[in-house]
Structure 1
Amino acid sequence: MSRNLDYSPLETSKWKHLPPPPGFSKSVSSHKGSSKAVAKTSPEEYDRLKDKRAWDLAISPAKSLPMQAFMLYMSGGGVQIFSMGIVFMLLSSPFKNILGINNAFAQFAPSKSSDPKSLTTLFIQKLAYIGCNLLTLAVGLWKCRSMGLLPLGTGDWLAFESRGLSPEISLL
């Protein structure tokens, strides 16, 4: 017993006359109209969208700081392999991010038709990206300090101190 599906009632269905959901655009929804909707976007709007996405990328290291701080808290204050791995990843990721900054922001380069002011905006976003990565590095160094891995006390530098001649003591 084979059954075939009949799709003809769908075209005359009662659901066809419902209003579209909020935010639904007919030109974007149709397969043929979707490429036309992209073509209708002006270069200024496209540059504004790229600018917004570049800002999202610029502050993304700061957005991940709460999770990284929680991971550092959960790893404990002792020097174990787990806590050292987390600290190493936290200290190495800002350097990797800063070295690859041009590749990260390459997709957000302004179009040729835009004004030269947008180049300055991308420079500011790169500075914000570097600042957020330096903040991540500072959190990693703070964890190293709390674990006792940074030589900040005077006792850590005793090997490099030179001793003067001791005074002679005469009892006579």
Structure 2
Amino acid sequence: MPASLNYADNDNNTLVKSLPSPPGFSEGSLQKSASASHSAAAASYAKLKQQRAWDLAISPAKSLPMNAFMLYMSGGGVQIFSIGILAMLLLNPIKAVSSMNTSFVPYAPSLKSSDSLILPKIVYILCNILTLALGIWKCRSMGLLPTGTGDWLAFETRGPPPEISLVS
């Protein structure tokens, strides 16, 4: 009767230990291959995290055309709809920049890695500044920013008027 193999416990099985290795197989190459594949997987995971961080960094710039179209469709008058869109456009970049560190936490590199997220964070801030600039431009075009001299008349002081004599 042939001996049966217990695949659950190969360490204690003498039949498995007595089998010769296949041709071209060496124990050292198996250990090197496992460590190489582990380091390659870690490197690809770090590269994927870096790529996702860049995707997050440029996401405000991707929504810029949609925001510009919404501002165009809201019109130039001062109405509740246009003011609501304008408030959203001005407040969302401020909220995004203030919660930037929590947004980038999932993409933080491991302690052993020399990569950092400084450059993606700078790009993220710049893209949010572009969105904020679009909102400020719309405020100016709607006449909500005091840009003319007539907007500052309340703060202007005038000297005494010149005396005019009606008697000659």
**TM-score over 0.5 for the pair:** yes
State the AA in 1 paired with 2:79.
Answer: Q
Alignment correspondent of 1:73? 72
State the AA in 2 paired with 1:91.
Answer: L
Q: TM-score, normalised by structure 1?
A: 0.73
The Cα offsets for residues 44-64 of structure 1, whole Å up to 9 and x where unpaired, read as 211111111100000000000
Alignment correspondent of 1:47? 46
The question of 1:90 aligning with 2:89 is answered yes
Instruction: Measure the CA separation in 2 of the matches of 1:146 and 1:112.
Output: 49
State how many pairs are aligned.
Answer: 131
**Percent identity of equivalent pairs:** 64
Equivalent residues in 2 for 1:109-120, closer than 5 Å: 109-115=108-114, 118-119=115-116
Deviating more after overlay: 128-137 vs 44-53: 44-53
Q: Matched residue of 1:46: which SS?
A: helix
State the AA in 2 paired with 1:86.
Answer: I
Instruction: Measure the CA separation in 1 of the matches of 2:50 and 2:122.
Output: 14
Rg larger for: 2
Alignment correspondent of 1:147? 142
Q: Matched residue of 2:78: which SS?
A: coil
| Native 8 Å contact 1:61 1:129 kept in 2 | yes
Alignment correspondent of 1:7? none
State the AA in 2 paired with 1:160.
Answer: F
Gap regions ≥5 residues in structure 1: 1-38
Structure 1's consecutive aligned runs of 4 or more residues displaced over 2 angstroms after TM superposition are 39-42
The question of 1:133 aligning with 2:132 is answered no
Instruction: Measure the CA separation in 1 of the matches of 2:39 and 2:122.
Output: 33
State the AA in 2 paired with 1:60.
Answer: S
Q: TM-score, normalised by structure 2?
A: 0.75
Alignment correspondent of 1:157? 152
CA shift, 1:163, in A, is 0.5
Alignment correspondent of 1:34? none
Instruction: Measure the CA separation in 2 of the matches of 1:70 and 1:98.
Output: 23
CA shift, 1:98, in A, is 0.4
Gap regions ≥5 residues in structure 2: 1-37
State the AA in 2 paired with 1:57.
Answer: L
CA shift, 1:112, in A, is 1.6
